[in-house]
Amino acid sequence: MNHTLRRLALKGALLFALAPALAGNLSAQENTLRVSAIPDEAPTELQRKFAPLGKYLEKETGMKVVFTPVSDYAAVVESLATKKLDLAWLGGFTYVQAKIRTQGTTAGTAIPIVQREEDAKFTSKFITADPTIKSFADLKGRSFAFGSPSSTSGHLMPRYFLQQANLSPDRDFRNVAFSGAHDATVAFVAAGKADAGVLNASVWDKLVETKKVDTDKVRVFATTPPYFDYNWTVRGDLDPVIVKKLTDAFLKLDPKNPEHAEIMALQRASKFIPSKKENYDGIEQAAKAAGLLK
């Protein structure tokens, strides 16, 4: 008798416990735009940057905008493919990965809609706190920090340009570390955890402007040639009407409008321009050459 009671009690409790969890997402809100961004900076910083843009997009599309911060680049790509996201801010390389990952799936091939004008001629900065490092050649036998392995400006393109200069990180550096994010790379180099590192020019400029980095100690010793980077990408099977609204909303942003100016300052954009997938063919080739894309 007691056993039966106990069993019933346990079963009931479990069902009870699971029911809300199971029901939670069934009400998959039709009118919600789910947005995320690759975590190339600290997730709290990304959230802060997105807040006014989210409000603006809410107004322009009439949809509820939900931003979910992530701590893993690949999770953003995977979420586009599994239809858990509608709009995502991707790097050039993550866009290529997303394109390859979603080709021929029910989610439809991911589409880049807009990018900042700055993204069409993006660069990376090589930094060090060590006075003896003055050029690529001085990096031999030293420890080096990239950002995330999936980062375009923090890993792929710097690696590609290092290879062009006949330096192989795996062979020539004493130790290769992945800090995970651009601001973390600066922290690594400033603290001496790595002898040198590389990060995207835009984040470097921001850290210098806001005095988050001591430029007497950490300095730039090389800059890459320009390449295409970041864009805003939508899921391939998103309703074209919504895609059009989103594209227009971005293109309409005008720095002369004070409300827009705040959004654009946080996004570090002077202007948004239309993007297309061909912009990223160069990145795809570089990724293949660097052995990061098989």
Binding footprint of another protein on the chain (CB under 8 A): 1-3, 5-7, 9-10, 12-14, 16-18, 20-26, 28, 36, 42-44, 68-79, 81-85, 97, 100-101, 105-106, 143, 148-150, 175, 177-181, 183-184, 187-188, 191-193, 292-294
Q: Would you say 71 or 285 has its CB closer to another protein?
A: 71
Q: How far is the CB of 78 from another protein (least distance, A)?
A: 4
Convert 8-26 to b/e letters by CB count within 10 Å (16 or more is b). Answer: eeeeeeeeeeeeeeeeeee
**Minimum separation from the CB atom of position 129 to another protein (A):** 11
State which amino acid sits at residue 99. K
We find the least distance from the C-beta atom of residue 88 to another protein, in angstroms, to be 11
163 exposure class (CB count in 10 Å sphere: 0-12, 13-18, 19+): middle
Burial of 231 (0-12, 13-18, 19+ CB in 10 A): buried
Q: Which is nearer to another protein, 100 or 273 (CB)?
A: 100
- Tell the smallest beta-carbon distance from residue 258 to another protein (Å): 28
Output 21 or 241, the one with its CB closest to another protein.
21
Residue count of the chain, please give it.
294
Q: Of 60 and 138, which CB lies nearer to another protein in the complex structure?
A: 138
Q: Which is nearer to another protein, 10 or 261 (CB)?
A: 10
Angle at 292 between CA 237 and CA 229, to 5 degrees: 55
Q: Identify residue 270 by its one-letter amino acid code.
A: S
Which of residues 113 and 181 has its CB atom nearest to another protein in the complex? 181
- Whole-angstrom CA distances from 13 to 1, 8, 17, 49 are 18, 8, 6, 42
Smallest gap from Cβ 237 to another protein, in A, equals 12
**Directed axis angle between helix 182-191 and helix 201-209, to 10°?**
60
